[in-house]
Amino acid sequence: MSAALPPAPPLRQALEVALYASDLEACAAFYDKVIGLERGPEVPGRHVFFRLGDGMLLLFNPEASARPPGNPALPVPPHGAQGPGHLCFAAERAAIAAWAARLRAAGVEIEAEFDWPNGARSLYIRDPAGNSIEFAEPGLWARDPGG
C-alpha cells in the first residue's frame, strides 16, 4: 500500500468469537450444560450461538458454514475453519479455581494449569470438538506501564 490510509477509530474489543465443531450438538451441550452459557439463535446442523457478556460465542458446523446460508436478506459470506481453534475466557484467580473444580466434577480433563512469568494464572481444557479452551486472569495481557 503506497497511499496513506484514512484514519479510523481504534477497535476496543471482539464482538464475536467463532469456534467450529463437526458434532455441533455435543459441543453445544458442553457450552450449555458444563460452561453454562445462555443459548442464543441457532439453525440446526449449521450453528448454535451463545451469549458471552456483551458479545457472542458462535459455534459453527465447519461443513455447513462453508456454504452461503441462502438468505438473500442476510448475505453473510461463507466461512469456516478446519481443526482445533482457541478461546480464552477471562476469569480471576479464585474463579479459575472454582472452574477447575466444576470441570473436574463434570469429568472434563484439565490439560494444563499454571502461572505465567507475569504471575497470571491459566487453565486449559478441550471442548468435545478438540478446541483449546483457556481460563486466564485478565492481567495476562496487561500492558507494561514502562514500555
Look at residue 1 in the predicted model and tell me its pLDDT. 59
This prediction's pTM: 0.91
> Is residue 39 within 8 Å of 32, Cβ to Cβ?
yes
* CATH of the domain spanning 16-67+82-141, picked from 3.30.70.890, 3.10.180.10, 3.30.310.50, 3.40.50.300: 3.10.180.10
Look at residue 33 in the predicted model and tell me its pLDDT. 97
pLDDT (tens digit, 0 to 9) for every residue of the chain, 147 residues total? Answer: 568 999 999 998 899 999 999 999 999 999 999 999 999 999 999 999 999 999 999 999 999 988 887 788 888 888 888 889 999 999 999 999 999 999 999 999 999 999 999 999 999 999 999 999 999 999 999 887 765
Domain assignments of the chain as residue spans, ordered by start: 16-67+82-141
Pairing of strands 55-60, 47-52: antiparallel
